[in-house]
Structures are given as C-alpha cells and as structure tokens.
Structure 1
C-alpha cells in the first residue's frame, strides 16, 4: 500500500510503498476513501523538515538544551549520531481519515465490516486505529464532509474549555480551517462571533457564515475595534486558532477581553505573557489539547478504557460523534471550505506549494481497489541456508539506532524485518538493504531460510514471541527483559529444552572493550569481590508504557537485568539472593528509583543503584569493582581507571557499551557454530534476579532466586 511521510532530515515529502498494517486487539483496520490535509499543522512539519540543521535547532530551543546535556554526559559523537538518527525517522503525515472497515480486532463488537468510519489515521491507503479513535459515519454524511470531523473536534474541544453562553461575544483570531470551523460552532452555540485574519479570502468565508470580520492586514487597531463593537466592555472570550511565533496575538487577546474574560489557545503562538494585562482583568487562560479528554492517554486510546460519561461527558470520541451529528443535521456546513480534491498519487500538487494562502481545505482521494499485502519485497535476494540468516521483529528506536548499525557492521545476513505499522520496517529495510519488510511477523517464523529471529518489540511480547520462534525451530536473540512474569520464564525454559535452539538475551555490557579489560585485570575471579553499579537513568513520563506492569514491566524489571548480567560476568558467579528497597513511602513494582543488594554464589556482593531523579548532566552509568586491595572505576563506558594495579592506570575512548562486539560474536557463532555468546543459564539467572527483586519489595525480605519460574520442580538450568 502507499502512505505519505515526511523526512525531517532531508525535508522531502514522499509517497512510500509500505506493507499494510495487521489488525490487532481493540483496533480497527480501515481502507481509506478520503483524507483531509491539515494545511496549518502539516505546513509546519514540512517547513521544519526543509529547514537547515541550525534552523531546526533555533525552532526547538528546549531540544537544544537536551542535546547539550547529552553531550556533557555521553560525548559529542554519540550525541550527534543520536540526533541524526532521530531526524532520519519517517513522520507519517495526516490525521483526518475517512474509510470503510475491512477488519476488526478482537474485542471490537460495535462495528461491522463495511461500515464507513472516521479516524485520526494518516494519509495512507490502509490504516489500523484503536477503537476509541474511530467513529461511525451517518449515512447522510458524505465522505468529503466526514473528512472534517477530526479538525472539527479540535475546534470543539477549545470551545468546551471556553464554556461560552448564549449571546456572548467571542473573538476567533485566525480564520484558517480550524478557525472557520470554530466560528461556525460558536454560532451554533448562540454566540456573536468576531473573526480576525490577515487573509481577505478567509475573512469573506467567515462573513458568509454570519461572523463580523476584521482584516488585521488593513485594520490598524484590532483591539479598539473589538472594544467599540462591544460598547467598551470587551470580548467575553477569545479563541486563538492562529499560528505565530510572536507574543503579539496573546497580548491582543488579553487587551480586547472584558474583565474576567476567558482566553483559549488552540493554535501555536508565542507565550511570553504580560502579567499586568492578565492581572488587572483577572483573565483566565487555557491551552486546548487536541480532540479532547483521552488524548495521549494510553489507557484510553490504546487499551480502550473509556471514561465514564457521568464524569467525563465529552471525550475525544464523543467530540467526533458531535461533529458528525452537526454534519448529519446540516448545521455545520463544510462544503464551501473545500478548495480542491487531489488523487493521492498527485500529492505534490499540494505539498510542493503548501505555503500557498489560497487553500482552505485540500482533500486527498483514494482508489476503490488497492493492492493490500503484509509483505513488501524490496530487492532481489538469494538465500543460502545455514549462513545465519536473520529476521527482525520490531522496528523501533533501539532497532534503528543500535541493533541494525551493529549487525550491518558485523556483516549479518538480513532477510526480513517486521513491525506492526510497516512504515518503520520499510524505511529500515531500504536503509540497510534488507530484502523485505512486513507487518506480519509470522512470515519470519514460517521462512525456512531464516535461522535466527531477533526480537525487539515491547516487553510484554518478548516471552510469547520467543516461545513461538523456538517452536518454529528458530534460534532467538531477544532484547531484555526475557520475561516480565515468572510463569513466562518457565514456559521459555520448557520451549528451549524441547527445541534445543539458542536463546540469547541482549546483555551487551559484558561485550564492551572496557568491561573486557576489567575482566582481564581481575585475574582471580574465583575470589569474592564487591561491585557497585550506579545508573543515573533519568525520568520518563509517568504515563509511559514502560511503567505499566503488564506491558513494560517497570524500569527495574526492564533494565536492571543488564547490570545483574554485568556483575555476573565480572564475578564469574550466578546470583543466589536479592533484596530491593525503593524510594517513597509506598513503593510499587514499577518504582524507578531503587537500590538492590545482590549476593552471589561465590561470596561476591553487588549493589545496584537505579535512580531516575538525578541530574541529566551527570554520567548515566558508573561501575566500581573492589577486590584484592585494588579498585576499578568505569565511568559511563568512556573511561576506565585502575587503582592499585602495577601496569594499568587508565583506558579511555568513545563510549562503547558493547553492541558492536556483541553483534560480531553473534554473527560469527551463527555461521560457525559453538556455544552461545551468553550462556542461557546466565540469562535465566538474571531474569530470576529481577523478578526476585520485585518479590523482595512486595514481601520486604531477601529472596532466593533459584526457584523463581521453575514451577513445582526446579529446572536443571
């Protein structure tokens, strides 16, 4: 299928061939019939992509600060590589989609195949959208009209925040598409509307809707005109739907408002507020968030947990329904706003001239019949079996920024990459010369040419995919964590024992040249040692999927296993017992500031401090080893310092956490045979330890890790 994307690195807008998405639980698969180009939002993205790197930095000063902090922590080159990789990620364009349902995910029971629906899907021939972001289209509403639903909901949410009453005077600053729709909706609400814009065409359209219009390009003093139109009282409310970098519009809104007036920002303007302008009138100011309550809440959008109507009357989906109701009854007239209808294949007619002011609403039209496949062959490919051919499931940031560069440098043979959406997989396949991309990971499992399955998906799928791959006769490389529940670990062990295939977890730290040097210097690993690891992890938003126990498992479970394995490698011993304490009066399993005490079989001890509340400037990882009156200190995998060693004082270089060497050893082992680069027993023990740490937090005691995930009888592993 075809999808429109924006390349933020090159500035190019491309109609890309990508595999069609697969329908998933709680989601709706839709074949697109129309999509609306949101000229304001998409123009900003296109112009940002076309800007130079310096101009991009100027437009996002808050990002520049983050980059500078990362330079201080990780060094210049790793930071620069991260920035360029981020810009290289494709950005799907569009969020106003109309189409027909062609498949329903498990749990979706209130829609039927063939239903016409609207969604916030991108400009693509097929989209897969969570049910709460999909609304059925009434029969009386055409596809062209329905395409305005999502942008209409954006204006409607701003109005709900403004809370206007009958006959109030509301000023709408900015009469682009959202502004014109907002003005109409305010008129439906019984308000007197004053529209302000610099474009005469938009002013004329607003006047035709019954608004009083002011052209700020020709009117010298907009504020005094509004005051005159309201008998000196001022506007009851102001809705700003314009886009501007200056603070002028927010100042004008304040000065034209009445005492205790309300201002709502839907657009994007400078927000250097003048305190006196707001203080003297006791003005209220709110920023509207997209379509309404539920936006950016994974529980609502991705997991389908609706808000109770009695407590949240207008969610984003109910806002969609409201706009569709107005369209059905003829109360909202969007037809005069349609500037053009362009076939998807001719998208350049819009995007090459996206700065044009003569457009209000551009519609992309789609063919009735399209070629839908979950597999996209990208080049000719001849496979010779037994050469360690790889298939990758997952095309997220780690795959893009770390795994694929390392595998490519190691000379890996890559055949297929699969991702749920298909776009990232296709981009990475083209970039790294992978033969085909897909949205169906089973094509990897069913392919006899593929020897090893690489799993880099979200944490809750690791165990399931590992088991499926083993049952399909594949070797497995899986990113940590191996499992997020003990029963999953038991099932993995059983599947591995039956298949006899390798399972390797991506514990890359042990492959770092700095760690290799530490191992060589610790010439008597059978003697106990003390190892202290401090991870300055940094905070991530509380609503991130990583914190969800059932999806991400929490950061301790998801990341600390790296450092358990590192200490295991240095000490040459498995973990025996673990105890964990987390910050806060009532810490939970997903707490991300904690300390672990770890006892090893050979008497070594480990202390792992994983903190999310430290400075971003401070280095992220520090490893200290104390043994035989000698000390080693590894600072952020950039500098290793030795104390008490006769022939070693320090080693420094570019940050290297071992990903490249891990890839080399994995590729070599897959081609030549031999033991796994990381013993399966080590991976099981590390996973048991993190699961035991969570149990320790729950039960407030030391936990013996050997029996975790073993069931009634302990496994010999």
Structure 2
C-alpha cells in the first residue's frame, strides 16, 4: 500500500510503499477513501523536517539538554548514533481518515465489514485503528464531509471545556480550519460568535456562516471591538485556535474577556501570561487536549476500555459521533471549506508548497481496490547461496533500529524479513539496513523454510507466545529480555523447547561486553565466592508507559533488572538459589522501579542489585563493583574498568560497549555452524525465575528459594 510520510532527516515528504497492516485485536482494518490534510499541524511537521540540525535544536531546547547529559555519561559516539537514529525515523502524516471497514479484529462488537467509518488514521491506503478511535458515518453524510470529523472534534473539545451557554458571546481567535469549524459549532450552540483572523478569505467565509468576522489588518482594535459589541462587558469566553509564537494573543484574549471569563487554548501560541491581566478579572485558562477524554490513555485507546457514559458524557469517540451528527443535521457546513481534491499519487500538489499554501481544506482521494492488501513487500534483491544464518526480525522499534540492526550488519547474517505492525517503521529500516523484505504479518516469516533464526523484539507480553510459535516452526530463537512475564509462560516455553533441537537466546548482552569478559578472566571460574554491588541508574519513566503495565511490560524488574541478574550470575560463575527484594514505598502489591535485590548463589557468592529510577541522568547509568580475596573491580558505565589489588592490571578505558555486537557475532556463528547455545538454557531459566522470585519476595516480605 501507499502512505505519505515526512522524512525528518532529509526534509522530504514522500509517498512510501509499505506492507498493509494486519487487523489487531480490538481494532478495525479500514480501506481509505478520503483523508483530510490538516494544514496547520502538517505544515509544522513538514517545516520541522526541512529545518537544519541547528534549527531543529533551537525548536527543542529540552532535547538539547538531554543530548548534552548523554554525552557526559555515555560519550560522544553513542550519543550521536542515538540522535541520528531518532532523526532517521520518518513521521506518518495525517489524522483525519474516512473509509470502509474490510476486517474486524477479535473483541470488536461495534463494527462489521462494510461499515463506512471516520477515524484518526493516517494518509494511507489501509489503516488499522482501535475501535474507540472510530465512528460510523450516517448515511446522509458524504465521505468528503466525514473527513472533517476528527478535526471538528478538536474544536468541539475546546468548546466543551469552555462550557458556553445560550446567548453568551464567544471570541474565536484564528479562523483556520479548526477555527471555522469551532465558530460554526458555537453558533449552533446558541452563542454569538466573533472571529478574528488576518486572512481576508477566511474572514469572508466566516461571515457567510453568520459569524461576526473581523480582519485586524484593516485597523480594527480587537479588544475595543469586543467591548463595543458587548456594551463594555467583554467576551464570556475566548477560544484560541491560532498558531503564533508570540505572547500577544494570550494578552489580548485576557483583555477582551469579561470579569471571571474563560479562555481555552486549542492552538499553539506563546504563553508568557501577565499575572495582572488574569488576577484582576479572575480569569480561568485551560489548554484543550486533542479530541477529548480518552486521548493518550492506553486503556481507553488501545485496550478499548470505554469510560462510563454516566460519568464521562463526551469521550473522544463520542465527540467524533457528535460532529458527524452536526454535519448530518446541517448545523455545520464543511463542503464550503474544501479548497481542492487531490489524488494520493498527486500528493505533492499539496505538500510541495505547503508553507505558502492558502488552502483551507485539502482532501486526498483514494482509488478503490478489490484485491487483498499485500502484507509483504520486497525492498532489496537478494539470492541465497546455501549457507545458514538467514534471519527474520519481528519488531521494528527504537532498540531494533539503534542497536540490533547496526550490530547484525557487522555479522555474516542475512536479514530476509523485518516485521512491523504498521509497515512503515519496518520498511524504513529495511531500506536503511539492506533487509530484503518488509512485512506486517510475522507468520509469513515463520512459514519461510529459508529462515533459520527468528529475532523477537516486540513488547514483552508477546515474547513467550512468539517464542513457542517460532520453536514449533523449527526456528532458532533470539528474544529480547524478558523471556516470559510469569511462571506459566515460562513453563509453556519449556514444554515445547524440550521437544526441539533448536536454541533459545535471550538478549542478556552485558555478559558479552569486553569489560565483563575481562572481569570474568580476572576473577576466575567461580571457585571462590565473590561479593557484587551492581547499580542501575535506570532513569524515570512515566507511570502510564507500557513497561509499567504488568500485563504488557511486566514492570521494570522483570523487564530490565533481569539484565543485571544474568550479569551477576555470569561473574559469579554460579546460579541464584534465593532472592530477597526490598522496594521504596509502602504497597508491596505494586510493581516498583526503585528497589534493592539481594541474590544468594549456590557457590556462596552474594550480589546486591540496586535498581533505581530516581537518580540524576547526568550520573553514570550502570556501575559494577566486585570484591574478592582482598581485590576489587569497579566498572563505570561500560567506559572504564579499574582494578585494585591485581598484579598487572590497574585500569582500562574504551568507548561504551555493552556487548551487543559480540553477542550477535556469536549467535550468528552458532546458527551457521551448530553447537551449543551461546547462553546455557539452564542459566536463562535461572535468571528468569530469579526475576519472578524478586517480585514474590516483595509481596511476601521474605526470601524466596529458586527451585
């Protein structure tokens, strides 16, 4: 299928060929017929993409500080690699999509194949969208009209926050597409609406809708104009839909408001607010969040958990439906807003000069397709000559892009497939790293007999099931940590693993780092017990991130601290026999990312893993201290190793190396040549059980033995 994307690195707007998405649980697959270009938002993305590095940095000063901190802790080279990797990820454009449902995922009850629907899908021939971001289109609303649903919901949510009543005077600052829709919805709500814009065409159009529209460029003082129309009272409410970096708009909005008036920001403006302006009138100010309640809530949008109507009357989906109803009842005129129709193939007529475009609403039209959408597309030509080591990568996220694929490129492996749920990220990486095929259905990889090794880099809840499927398909498996989220998943894997002659490797790369191997050689093979203090300054991750969701990410102890459990086991040369964990806070039933894990080993060694998320990002992220026989080793952030009491060794420094490349070299060689797994399976199982035991220990308040 074809999809419009913005290349952030080159600045180009591209019509990309990508595999069509598969319909997921809780989602509907839509074949697009129309999509609306949101000129304000998309112009901003296009212009950001075209900006040079310095201009991009000036627009994101907070990101610059993060980069400088990372240089201090990780070094210049890893930081630059991370920055360029991020810039190399294109952005899909568009969020106003109309089409026909062609497939329905499990758990969806509101839609059937054939329904005409509006959604926040991108400019793409096919989109798979969660059901709470999709609304049915009334029969008397055309596809052209329905394309305004989502952008109308943005304005409607601003109105809901303003809570206007019949007869109130409301000012709309900015009569672009959102402003014109907002003004019409306010008028339909029984308000007297005053609109301001510096574009005479938009002012004229607003006047035709019955809006009191004024162009300040004609010399009109906006504040005095509002006061004259309201007998000196001022506006009951102001909705700002404009985009402007200055602070003049917020100041004028305050001055034109009545005492205890309300101001809602829908657009993007400077917000250096004068306290005096707001204090004297006791004004309220609120920023509107996109389409309405539910936006950016993982449970609502991705898991389909609706808010009860009695408690949250207007969710984002119900706002979609309200806009469609307003269009159906002719309360809102959207056809007059359409400036042009452009076919998908002619997209550059819109984006080629978007910075200077005077269009109000541009509609992209899509040709009807009868054939089944393709889930695999060839990116590069390749012919295999016998040998093994042919890979399929399932997952195309940041870690795959930044670490896994660059490492694999330095090995003899041939990556035949990369799979991503939407198709775009996988296609981008396939082009960048010379991968032969981009796909959206991982089952195509499992059934390909040429593929020897499956790499699974998806979200954690998918790991165990995909490992089982890959083993059953006769493939070797590499899975990013964790292997499983609970004992039941682990048992399911072991039941299949025992009947195969295939290997499982978990991405415990730290044990393959040069400094880890150096420490191991200095310590010996585990004949003498050691004490280890390992610290992970993991960094704060917001509580609503998927890694904290126990059903999806499993929490950061199981999902990430397992790295250091494996590393400690590697350094001790032994297996964990008991675990005790203490955590910050008072509720042991909640997962934590501030905890100390005590590990007791079979050979008498002890280890303490301090996994903290409340430290400074300017401090080293990882640190290992090992104490043994009046000797000490200190490894600082994989850049320096110091030895105390060792003959012939005092210190060694290098660029940051966490062992990813060595791991994949060994892995590919083991698949091509045969032999033992690069990490013994019993050690992988022991580490996995130890991570489970840490959580059980916190809940039970006692040591947990590993059996």
Do they superpose with TM above 0.5? yes
- The total of aligned residue pairs comes to 706
> Corresponding residue for 2:598?
597
Q: How many angstroms apart in 1 are the aligned matches of 2:335 and 2:291?
A: 22
Deviation at 1:399, TM superposition (A): 0.6
Deviation at 1:220, TM superposition (A): 5.0
Could you say what secondary structure the match of 2:409 adopts?
Answer: helix
* Cα pair 1:170 1:239 within 8 Å, conserved: yes
Asked if 1:118 is matched to 2:118, the reply is yes
> Corresponding residue for 2:82?
82
* Cα pair 1:384 1:449 within 8 Å, conserved: no
* Cα pair 1:589 1:694 within 8 Å, conserved: no
Deviation at 1:590, TM superposition (A): 2.0
> Corresponding residue for 2:535?
534
* Cα pair 2:474 2:502 within 8 Å, conserved: yes
The alignment's TM-score, normalised by the length of structure 2, stands at 0.99
> Corresponding residue for 1:10?
10
> Corresponding residue for 1:160?
160
> Corresponding residue for 2:253?
253
Q: How many angstroms apart in 1 are the aligned matches of 2:340 and 2:419?
A: 36
> Corresponding residue for 2:289?
289
Deviation at 1:383, TM superposition (A): 2.3
Greater Cα shift, 406-415 or 216-225: 216-225
> Corresponding residue for 2:654?
653
Question: What are structure 2's unaligned runs of at least 5 residues?
Answer: none
Listed one character per residue, the Cα deviations across residues 218-253 of structure 1 (whole Å, up to 9, x for unaligned) are 225222222222221111111000111111111111
> Corresponding residue for 1:395?
396
> Corresponding residue for 1:559?
560
Q: How many angstroms apart in 1 are the aligned matches of 2:220 and 2:145?
A: 37
> Corresponding residue for 1:279?
279
> Corresponding residue for 1:635?
636
Q: How many angstroms apart in 1 are the aligned matches of 2:91 and 2:706?
A: 44
Listed one character per residue, the Cα deviations across residues 564-586 of structure 1 (whole Å, up to 9, x for unaligned) are 11011111001100011111011
Deviation at 1:370, TM superposition (A): 6.1
* Cα pair 1:689 1:705 within 8 Å, conserved: yes
Q: 1:415 to 1:524 in 2, by over 3 A?
A: closer
Greater Cα shift, 583-592 or 686-695: 583-592
Listed one character per residue, the Cα deviations across residues 538-592 of structure 1 (whole Å, up to 9, x for unaligned) are 1111111111111100011100110011011111001100011111011334211
> Corresponding residue for 2:109?
109
Q: How many angstroms apart in 1 are the aligned matches of 2:607 and 2:170?
A: 64
> Corresponding residue for 1:687?
688
> Corresponding residue for 2:613?
612
Q: How many angstroms apart in 1 are the aligned matches of 2:376 and 2:166?
A: 55
Q: How many angstroms apart in 1 are the aligned matches of 2:515 and 2:627?
A: 16
Q: How many angstroms apart in 2 are the aligned matches of 1:443 and 1:273?
A: 56
> Corresponding residue for 1:197?
197
* Cα pair 1:156 1:182 within 8 Å, conserved: yes
Q: 1:417 to 1:550 in 2, by over 3 A?
A: same
* Cα pair 2:389 2:412 within 8 Å, conserved: no
Deviation at 1:351, TM superposition (A): 0.2
Deviation at 1:385, TM superposition (A): 4.4
* Cα pair 1:429 1:436 within 8 Å, conserved: yes
* Cα pair 1:597 1:605 within 8 Å, conserved: yes
Q: How many angstroms apart in 2 are the aligned matches of 1:228 and 1:260?
A: 18
The alignment's TM-score, normalised by the length of structure 1, stands at 0.97
Listed one character per residue, the Cα deviations across residues 483-526 of structure 1 (whole Å, up to 9, x for unaligned) are 00101101111111101210000000011111111111113631
Instruction: State how 1:235-250 maps to structure 2 within 5 Å.
Output: 235-250=235-250
> Corresponding residue for 1:704?
705
Q: How many angstroms apart in 1 are the aligned matches of 2:172 and 2:328?
A: 25
Instruction: State how 1:368-517 maps to structure 2 within 5 Å.
Output: 368-369=368-369, 372-517=373-518
Q: How many angstroms apart in 2 are the aligned matches of 1:147 and 1:566?
A: 54
Q: How many angstroms apart in 2 are the aligned matches of 1:265 and 1:344?
A: 33
Q: How many angstroms apart in 1 are the aligned matches of 2:525 and 2:382?
A: 49
Could you say what secondary structure the match of 1:498 adopts?
Answer: coil
Deviation at 1:357, TM superposition (A): 4.2
> Corresponding residue for 2:305?
305
Instruction: State how 1:154-193 maps to structure 2 within 5 Å.
Output: 154-193=154-193
> Corresponding residue for 1:362?
362
Deviation at 1:177, TM superposition (A): 0.2
Question: What are structure 1's unaligned runs of at least 5 residues?
Answer: 707-717
Could you say what secondary structure the match of 1:28 adopts?
Answer: strand
> Corresponding residue for 2:206?
206
Greater Cα shift, 379-388 or 367-376: 379-388
Could you say what secondary structure the match of 1:31 adopts?
Answer: strand
Could you say what secondary structure the match of 1:217 adopts?
Answer: helix
Greater Cα shift, 404-413 or 308-317: 404-413
Q: How many angstroms apart in 1 are the aligned matches of 2:422 and 2:256?
A: 47
* Cα pair 1:549 1:589 within 8 Å, conserved: no
* Cα pair 1:184 1:209 within 8 Å, conserved: yes
Q: How large is the Cα RMSD of the aligned pairs?
A: 1.0
Greater Cα shift, 343-352 or 229-238: 229-238
Could you say what secondary structure the match of 1:350 adopts?
Answer: helix
Could you say what secondary structure the match of 1:280 adopts?
Answer: helix
* Cα pair 1:386 1:451 within 8 Å, conserved: no
